[in-house]
Structure 1
Amino acid sequence: MSVTAQSVWNNCLEFIKDNIQPQAYKTWFEPIKAVKLTDTALSIQVPSKFFYEWLEEHYVKILKVSLTKELGETAKLVYIIKMENTYGNKQPFTEKIPSSNRSAVKSQDVDVPFNNKSPELRNPFVIPGIRNVKIESQLNPNYSFENFLEGDSNRLARSAGLAVAAKPGGTSFNPLLIFGGVGLGKTHLAHAIGVDIKDKYPEKTVLYISAEKFTQQYIDAVKKNNRNDFIHFYQIIDVLIIDDVQFLSGKSGTQDVFFHIFNHLHQNGKQVILTSDKAPVDMQDIEQRLLSRFKWGLSAELQNPDFETRVSILKNKLYRDGVEMPEDIIEYVAKNIKTNVRELEGAIISLIAQSSFNKKEINIDLARVIVEKFVKNTKREVSIDYIQKIVSDYFQMDVDTLQSKTRKRHIVQARQLAMFFAKKFTKASLASIGSQIGKRDHATVLHACKTVDNLSSTDKQFRKYVEDITKKLSV
């Protein structure tokens, strides 16, 4: 039987397979192709420079032993790297790593590396000039489940997060998409899941990154002709957390590369966690093939916290900071700041600071002054309840009438305007808007928004309604 490159490599693979984890074998050795055998030099093709560097960094010993067993002490390994030209030339080209730098050594001398220099891992998070093989998670340990308080507004998302943290990649919540308005805790919950996974599974590679930074890394990779390296880096992550995924909107190149990364991770049982300010159904300029994958798992909405949850959040914040505050003041702040958790905590911090710096007692008068100033100086996120009240007052009807099932034309139009402005001024999903305005579905809200757009361009009186209400909501 003649010795071929494939037969030599198959024998090497049998040895390697018996000595490493199955998942590592599947990721790092199955994609390799044996190309040719010249005397005692075996040429193998790997998908990218990143791939070759990872092999040299992590599997150099086992490669030496297996190849020496097959070809003897003079064995050499040549890497052929299939490079992707990202500048329009459709023909791939190859780069050979010279065999003179890859000579194998005797099996007992396994501490001597194949090559004369240690390769540098192409990790997008490595600081230039500093060699760093370890992939840092980029997680904030201060964001935990312990300080992410449960309430009706976030119970589903929090419970799903706990399930994912207990069994990453092993639940039906893959991907887990957490969506909701500004300051409701999307980033906090995403970090909490990652932190909990690292505690339970320290061997897993967890990575948190914003979609904006992911996009910038991809742009840099294309400029440097390292697109394959970029892809392979992200394909080795066990738990990938991407914050503000709506930032990929309109960026077709980044969407395409994320599509391939997502597919690889999902098919290999890795966990993907995404956050967004919109539900998938409301995302604009995101490719349908990507949106369909976002819907494979669970989309969990974070809504504005109710009064009881707001009180609990404030008490927890005060407890963590070691500050005591009268119950009536906590309740006053919770009643008057309803928009989101970030503003709620900001107000209590301002109140504590004013009391400390000015040596003033924390009482209801000071709370009133601080809350009024804080709300006035904070960009207010208009609530759906507020929009319904403004629209109802404008058309001289009560909110119950606005939400009713009646088909009277002027009431239907008022309801449609309320839905239109809720979509325009809030981050709520279409489903959430419909639920709060008369228990309608998201299709009704979508129809209402299209109707308002059409009537605004054809009906002069209706256009005046839109302009008047816009002014009232913009005050």
Structure 2
Amino acid sequence: MPEVHPNLWSNCLESLARELPEQQFNTWIKPLTAHADDPAGQLTLAVANRFKLDWVRAQYANRIARVLEQIHGEPVHLELVLAPRETPSSTGFRPPLAVAESAPEPAPASAAPVPPAPTRVASPTAMPRNRLNSALSFDTLVEGSANRMARAAALHVASAPGQLYNPLFIYGGVGLGKTHLMHAVGNRLLADHPDARVLYIHAEQFVSDVVKAYQRKTFDEFKERYHSLDLLLIDDVQFFANKDRTQEEFFNAFEALLAKKSHIVMTSDTYPKGLTDIHERLVSRFDSGLTVAIEPPELEMRVAILINKAQAEGSTMPEEVAFFVAKNVRSNVRELEGALRKILAYSRFNQREISIQLAREALRDLLSIQNRQISVESIQKTVADYYKIKVADMYSKKRPASIARPRQIAMYLAKELTQKSLPEIGELFGGRDHTTVLHAVRKIAGERQQLTELNQQLHLLEQTLKG
């Protein structure tokens, strides 16, 4: 077998950068390092830590091997290994007010595991009110493919604060569980380190605190509170848009916390580079750790959420009822919970057992709105407008990618958002066979799990169609 050319990996990187969305490439592929002394026909890539190694192996190894083979001309044996561990500069929380004069670089992702419990004793008055909801834990979070990566990253943060994925940036649409994950991190850390300084806060409250500090001239107290935390959990950072002074103060807090090896977890409705009217230097800080998405829950996950939450309410939801509700409430966990509350209340008020018929009655208004608002025709028009093609192209036999791709997306959305069968959808797309629709649905569903940009587009289209 011929030797691997020294430039093989750099050429592979260039190819993968063209294939993958920028966010995926920068997070998972770009940080990989190739060994220079591999045997003939082999390429070894070093990965920073076990979590990233498992994820790259599962999600990208086959694609990397395919690109290597295309460039090399024959198969290349790909090895993924852990990068050598580095000795961390810090092994635990630093005293809360010992902020360094200049912020050192964050600890490498391969730094030491769980830090020992802090040795300081905090007085009750020194501890900020953490605002955590103790009911929101990892145990009460239903896991599925939609949130598995984000949950795994959050668990790592909770077990090794200040060491792994700092900052952790979680993004996704409303009601998908971002806030639940943040509370779970804070609750787990406090369970392990009861005297840790933890604060959960919404971005709007941070803005309010900045305004009050200005009005009352209490910036020393403001900085003492935020700069002395061990873990800051801040929700919906997109609310910082156009608030220059708030962004300045958050940047200062960010730098101070990283300098003392404290951890920052943030959420947003979009990925860092998608944020608008946020200073570039702040966006670059958001993007400097690990960015993970939470997707809308898939059918099986929605079913599990309904059954688990019904049990938590002291009721039993039959599986067939959970499937009926999950197929009709698709957008997010919050809407699922609302539907469940309606069903439970309707069941108790009427003293009837939960059944599909009862669920249909309890959700009559919701089902009526869905059926009235979302049609295949409205999906075709919305998708055509979004991708700047003619609605007539949805029914035509034209097959260029600029038309075929939006058509497949519209077919996928028609299957997801309406009760139409595959043959019925095919008929509405110019008399196409149901196997054509099935191929489109499977293709887009598979790519949605892999391509962040496509998932964002689909989420936007779904929200537009649902009003």
1:260 equivalent in structure 2: 252
Paired residue for 1:395, among 383, 391, 395?
391
Change (3 A) 1:434 1:332: closer
Pairs within 5 Å for 1:299-448: 299-375=291-367, 387=379, 391=383, 395-396=391-392, 406-407=400-401, 411=403, 442=453
Alignment RMSD (CA, Å): 4.2
Please point out which of 5, 20, 24 is paired with 2:95. 24
The C-alpha deviation readout for 1:348-384, integer Å capped at 9, x for no partner, is: 1101101111223322222112233235579x99999
| Distance of 2:268 and 2:376 partners within structure 1 | 19
> 2:150–2:294: 8 Å Cα contact kept in structure 1?
yes
Question: How far is the alpha carbon of 1:24 from its aligned partner?
Answer: 2.8
Q: In structure 2, do the counterparts of structure 1 residues 368 and 158 end up closer, same or farther at CA, with 3 Å as the change threshold?
A: same
Q: Which has more radius of gyration?
A: 1
2:161 aligned with 1:165: no
User: Which residue number corresponds to residue 246 of structure 1?
Assistant: 238
For residue 221 of structure 2, what is the amino acid of its counterpart?
D
The answer for the alignment partner of 1:278 in structure 2 is: 270
Cα distance in 1 between the residues matched to 2:405 and 2:340: 40
SS of alignment partner, residue 242 of structure 1: strand
Q: How much has 1:22 moved relative to structure 2?
A: 9.3
CA distance in 1, matches of 2:445, 2:322: 32
Counterparts in 2 of 1:353 and 1:389: CA distance versus 1, 3 Å: farther
Equivalent residue number for residue 296 of structure 1: 288
CA distance in 1, matches of 2:256, 2:312: 41
The verdict on how the C-alpha distance between 1:302 and 1:237 changes in structure 2, with shifts beyond 3 A counting, is: same
- RCO higher in 1 or 2 (8 Å CA, sep ≥ 6)? 2
- Cα distance change on mapping 1:417 and 1:348 into 2, 3 Å: closer
Distance 1:27 1:270, change over 3 A: same
For the 8 Å contact 1:355–1:361, the answer to whether it is kept is yes
What is the identity, as a one-letter code, of the residue corresponding to 1:236? Answer: S
For the pair 1:221 / 2:213, whether they are aligned, the reply is yes
Report the number of matched residues: 317
Partner of 2:138: 145
What does residue 200 of structure 1 align with?
A: 192
Letter aligned with residue 251 of structure 2: F
How far did 1:133 drift? 3.7
Question: CA 1:390/1:417 → structure 2, altered by over 3 Å: closer, same or farther?
Answer: same
Check the 8 A contact 1:435/1:441 in 2, yes or no. no
Which shifted more, 174-183 or 351-360? 351-360
CA distance in 1, matches of 2:248, 2:194: 31
Residues 306 and 317 in structure 2, CA contact (< 8 A), matched pair in contact too: no
Give a deviation string over 1:264-285, Cα, whole Å, max 9, x none. 1112211000011111121110
Task: State the one-letter code of the partner of 1:310.
Answer: R
Amino acid at match of 1:169: G
> What SS does the corresponding residue of 1:222 show, helix, strand or coil?
helix
Aligned counterpart, 1:457: none
1:455-466 aligned at under 5 Å gives the runs none
Structure 1: stretches of 5+ with no match in the other structure: 1-20, 32-57, 60-120, 122-130, 422-432, 450-468
Q: Is the 8 A contact 1:218 1:254 kept in 2?
A: yes
Q: Quick one: distance in 2 between partners of 1:399 and 1:441?
A: 28
1:164 and 1:322, CA in 2 relative to 1: closer, same or farther beyond 3 A? same
Do the aligned residues in 2 keep the contact of 1:389 with 1:399 (CA within 8 Å)?
no
Supply the distance in 2 between the matched residues of 1:264 and 1:385 (Cα, whole angstroms): 53
Distance 1:473 1:221, change over 3 A: same
Normalising by structure 1, report the TM-score. Answer: 0.58
1:187 is the counterpart of 2:179: yes
Distance 1:368 1:25, change over 3 A: closer
TM normalised by structure 2 equals 0.59
Identity %: 38
CA contact (8 A) 2:171 2:269 kept: yes
